[in-house]
Structure 1
């Protein structure tokens, strides 16, 4: 398929590195990017034809799905499938998969190891969605990591996950899940952990636009990045809730050495890394 020819037919079509946008679009991969056409400019017949062209141009190497949840997320169903519980979306990106990877066995394994699974399906070669009901005790991120680690060992792959919140399956659900997908997509390359939730990414995601528009922030960020060891210092203190002794062990330096670096940082920036407000600001500056 030639994007320039498609663009002549659908002037609203765009080429983007991101698979999901804020609006509902018909999408297909194209030369390591994604073609997006707003669905509101397409008729049902046009969507059907484009789907056929998409399948012919890109035969899936992962199981196709007739999932109602998939259809709901993609916009072809207006309302979510009926369920008696709140639900959450767990997004998985699989790394290091090869031609021997069996998507069908992976789906079966997810359904067996996770409780209250309403659906499991792939939306691309390496992206798997789990729809989970809230009928059992909510697992911690540590417990979820242990479960995924078991699967990683069995399949010889690596996973990165975004664990969504539990939501009511009402009229607002589609927009909420679209935003969760957008968050994971935009933050994926900057995640600090393998298993992430809203609280892990909220500070950076919801403040980045305001921070990007501030000359004050730009000037302070430039000052901090002049010293190559300060970013590492800030991250170590942030990850350990400002505990100097634990951060020193993480950085393999003496506590007094770390204290000296903190004092130097304060003299240069006016920010005290012993103060949680200053530490938070410093973390946002270098994230």
Structure 2
């Protein structure tokens, strides 16, 4: 979607997660709400003939829950959302691709088709598995074998203590992914840390819930000093342990425990930068 071009045609239109009276679904969970002043009678009539997504019943209990219309269908120890957007596809290959994705993601608890181009895979990550690396390694083969071109976002791992916010955290991830797709169209596998850093300071993105949720986890696990020291010492574990006056093995144990809970590897500079950015508002 070219947002500048849309603004030229419909200068009073507004992008929103809520549908209005004259609305056009954009296929990524957002709506273009059009002002009467921008429309002719013919255009208003054509819009009235379109099926509004809000009138469609959710396809599963998980979709209802993520849309804020139901309760959590299944209690898990930790949840992770894998967002998939298909840029192009061969209809006959989709079933085979979905079967392959199920095989690749054995901890899958649900699969939801959101639109013709958008799929969501919901994973149980009580025992963390590195699906980011797995999907990155297999992306080219998936596209070649099934005649697809796609982009995946491997979302953040959100443990059970944040379960009250899972549906809102899903929506925050989906909004961020939709914004990225409005600017870029290449095939890739994105980590949540990468996308969060990209989204810093971009207009229209609300990252407050993500930051607050990560701060809650950092405080629960007493990770603030470790994150700040790792940042200062360039993610060198030995130097960080010396600065913190703890044994290197003790620090490594804390890092491994954090990775098991959140999927974040703090020796990786992208993941470390994500956690450091979350702390910036607090320390300055």
Partner of 2:75: 83
Partner of 1:70: 63
Deviation (angstroms), 1:115: 1.7
Select the structure of larger CA radius of gyration: 1
| Structure 2 unmatched ranges of 5 or more | 1-11, 35-49, 205-233, 235-272, 274-284
Cα distance in 1 for residues equivalent to 2:159 and 2:26: 35
Partner of 2:51: 54
Partner of 1:94: 86
Deviation (angstroms), 1:142: 2.9
Cα distance in 2 for residues equivalent to 1:179 and 1:130: 16
1:146 equivalent in alignment to 2:142: no
Partner of 2:264: none
Runs (4+) of structure 1 exceeding 6 A deviation are 30-33
Deviation (angstroms), 1:180: 0.6
Give CA-to-partner distance per residue, 1:184-216, whole Å, 9 cap, x none: 111224458711122212233122349xxxxxx
- What secondary structure is seen at the aligned counterpart in 1 of 2:173? helix
Deviation (angstroms), 1:150: 3.0
Q: 1:86-235, aligned counterparts within 5 Å?
A: 86-98=78-90, 100-139=91-130, 141-169=132-160, 170-190=163-183, 194-209=188-203
Deviation (angstroms), 1:35: 5.1
- What secondary structure is seen at the aligned counterpart in 2 of 1:207? coil
Cα distance in 1 for residues equivalent to 2:19 and 2:113: 18
Partner of 1:34: 31
Q: 1:168 to 1:54 in 2, by over 3 A?
A: farther
Cα distance in 1 for residues equivalent to 2:92 and 2:197: 36
Conserved? CA contact 2:111–2:119, under 8 Å: yes
Give CA-to-partner distance per residue, 1:108-140, whole Å, 9 cap, x none: 221122120011121111111100111444215
Conserved? CA contact 1:28–1:54, under 8 Å: no
Cα distance in 1 for residues equivalent to 2:24 and 2:67: 12
Cα distance in 1 for residues equivalent to 2:95 and 2:119: 11
Q: 1:176 to 1:31 in 2, by over 3 A?
A: closer
Cα distance in 2 for residues equivalent to 1:173 and 1:137: 17
| Structure 1 unmatched ranges of 5 or more | 1-13, 38-52, 211-240, 242-279, 281-287
Q: 1:165 to 1:151 in 2, by over 3 A?
A: same
